[in-house]
Amino acid sequence: MRCKDVAQAIEQAGFPPLPDEARGHVEGCPACSSLIADFERILAVAKELPAEVEPPTRVWVALRSQLEAENIIREPATLVPVESSRWWQDYDKIIRGRMMATAGVAVLIVAAGYIQMTHKSARSPIPDEATVIPEPRVLAEPFGAAGTKLDQEEQSLGPLQAASMSGVSPVDNSLRENLATLNTFIKECRKRLQEDPNDQVARDYLSAAYQQKAEILAAMMERGRSVN
Amino acid sequence: MTVSPAVRKTFASVLFPVFGAGVLLMPLASLAAGQKVEKHFAVKGRPVVMIQNVANGRIEVKSWKNPEVVVSASQPSNKIGLDMEQAENRIDVTASVLDASAQESDLSENIQLTVPEETELQIKSQSGLIYVEQVLGDMTLESIAGDIHLKEVSGYIIVRTTGGTLVCTLCGGKLKFDSVSGSAQILQPSLTNVTLYTSFGNILFDGDFIRTGIYSMKSGRGLVEVRFAGTDSFDLNAQTTSGTVDNRAEAFLKPDSHGIRRSAAKYAKGFFGTVGNGLAKVELSSFSGTIRILKRD
């Protein structure tokens, strides 16, 4: 066996373990043994890398808001069968692992691209009942699930906010004031959409407001962590 | 010995980042607080400078011709820790709070940077002004409560604030601004792509629209004001849900010149028009604020 055969064996069979023939060659070949040693070091370092971190909730909220804003996915309506809404309720559980999350996002992006390319002007039903409600339907409140989730996060921040209030910080004040104003603005947009559910301008502003709210909550949490 | 391309690729993509980073990430300084410090970092080509200022304070970035990055910092107390490190062309500067119980007045860190003209920047701050002048390169600038002033900068510029205001004078390239209550003033720009969004702040665009440029300016409750030149050429789409459109340039706005039939969204007020040949695209929007269009004198 020659050096290139060793490389081919690693390429095809993986590493380790090394096939017997290749091992025999490596023992007598300084270049190959050096390469193998390097690979072993890489594997050792790779095992020490920290575990993958689950993306924060705000990422999912922002993603969902954006997809809803672009009419790529829709909020389950009140007439929707129980199975459909349960899918979204279980969404968090489904996307626990990073690989599952990545795959989920990839599927959403591919679906979004396909839908936009093939259904640009006409709003025809999309074949995934889990994510899209067939027409005719009763429109539910836009971004309702995202809004509820953000409200829950805001409530959970209560003690954290209080803890960081020991010194009056202009930054914390700015975050709190902007959050309060955003909440008022969100109410205005929601009111408008209750009057005119098809007002796309209001829908866009509501989507943006939810995204900004998610970012403010993330900043508040980050500040809470950095000073506590 | 010959090694197959796949092995070499694996080697290059895994070994170099892991061990290269280990060798190159040598912490150059962990500076004692309560003093003025200055560090020099020799660089080649276009460096990337990252500043993370968890404390408050002003960050100022200016350029020079030398292939060197100079970081100067001053802090009034020892409650702030400042770390600087260099990994080839990347320079990281991090200011962090050492004592969470410290008074707010002690938690400040002013940082001055002098960088080569072509430098990429990533700056994240809490409050205090971020000022960048004469830097060419992509930059991401984030602040919660601080204002951001840019002068003669060019590149792909991303600015995010919660309450801070952006003033961009003589800027070029692409600009993306997102803020909750901060305002944006874009003065004498040469920007080809502009996306400005603020929920409650005002937007002022005073300058030329570059042909083939795309400009989107949106404010939830604030004023969106555009001052254009008579020689400009752009299509305009202005829409508001419950605000007002103050069109002071009716004499210059013609019906769409491209023959495309357009209509405003059913539930929005607004209008379409064309100035010149309609080469650039301008979209203005406000939920409940005012959109004002006027020609510069």
Q: pTM for this one?
A: 0.68
pLDDT higher than 70, residue A131: no
Dist CA A3 CA A26 (whole Å)? 8
Nearest to B266 among A42, A188, A198 (CB): A198
- Residues in A touching B96 (Cβ below 8 Å): 226
Residue A208 contacts B, CB cutoff 8 Å: yes
Cβ under 8 Å to B: A residues 147-176: 166-171, 174-175
* From A72-81, A187-196, B82-91, B113-122, the region with the lowest mean pLDDT: A72-81
pLDDT in tens, A179-225: 999 999 999 999 999 888 888 889 999 999 999 999 999 888 887 75
Query: pLDDT class for A88, splitting at 50, 70, 90?
Result: very low
pLDDT at A29: 87
Confidence of residue A134 (pLDDT cuts 50, 70, 90): very low
Q: pLDDT: is A20 or A201 the higher one? A: A201
Asked if B149 and B132 touch (Cβ cutoff 8 Å), the reply is yes
The per-residue pLDDT for A112 is 46
Count of CA atoms in the C-beta half-sphere (13 A) of B256:
13
Give the largest CA-CA distance in chain B: 77
B17 vs A57: which has the higher pLDDT: A57
For the cut 80, the answer to whether the pLDDT of residue A128 exceeds it is: no
Q: Residue B80 corresponds to which amino acid?
A: I
CB pairs under 8 A between A and B: 129
Out of B14, B104, B127, closest to residue A167 by CB: B104
Contact A10, A35 (CB under 8 A): no
Q: How far from B156 is each of A61, B30, B61, B173, CA to CA, in Å? A: 26, 32, 17, 6
Specify the range with the lowest mean pLDDT, choosing from A150-154, B161-165, B219-223: A150-154
Report chain A's mean pLDDT, rounded to a whole number: 69
| Chain B contact probe: residue of A176, A178, A195 with most B CBs at under 10 A | A178
- Average pLDDT, stretch B182-188? 97
Give CA–CA dist A61/A193, Å, rounded: 20
Structure ipTM: 0.79
Is the pLDDT assigned to residue A83 strictly greater than 50?
A: no
Average pLDDT over residues A42-48: 79
Residue B1 and residue A189: Cβ atoms within 8 Å? no
| Closest chain B CA to residue A164 | B100
User: What is the spatial distance between Cα A210 and Cα A193, in angstroms, rounded to a whole number?
Assistant: 14
Mutate to test the interface with B, among A58, A205, A210, A211 (most CBs of B within 10 A): A205
What confidence tier does B7 reach under pLDDT thresholds 50, 70, 90? very low
| pLDDT at res. B260 | 54
Residue listed under structure tokens 């920047």: B121
Q: Give the mean pLDDT of B110-121.
A: 96
**Confidence category of residue A228, pLDDT binned at 50, 70, 90:** very low
Q: Is B34 a residue whose pLDDT tops 90?
A: no
Task: Judge whether B119 and B138 are in contact, CB under 8 Å.
Answer: no
Determine the distance from the C-alpha atom of residue A117 to the mean position of all C-alpha atoms in its chain, rounded to a whole number: 23
In terms of residues, how long is chain A?
228
Q: Please, where are the H alpha helices in chain A?
A: 3-13, 20-28, 30-48, 57-69, 82-89, 91-94, 98-118, 144-156, 158-163, 170-195, 200-227
Closest CA–CA distance from residue A129 to any residue of chain B (Å): 29
Closest CB to A3: pick one of B2, B200, B288.
B2
pLDDT at site B200: 95
Write out the E strands in B32-109.
Answer: 36-42, 48-53, 59-64, 68-74, 80-87, 90-97
pLDDT of residue B41: 96
**Residues of chain B with C-beta less than 8 angstroms from the C-beta of A196:** 267
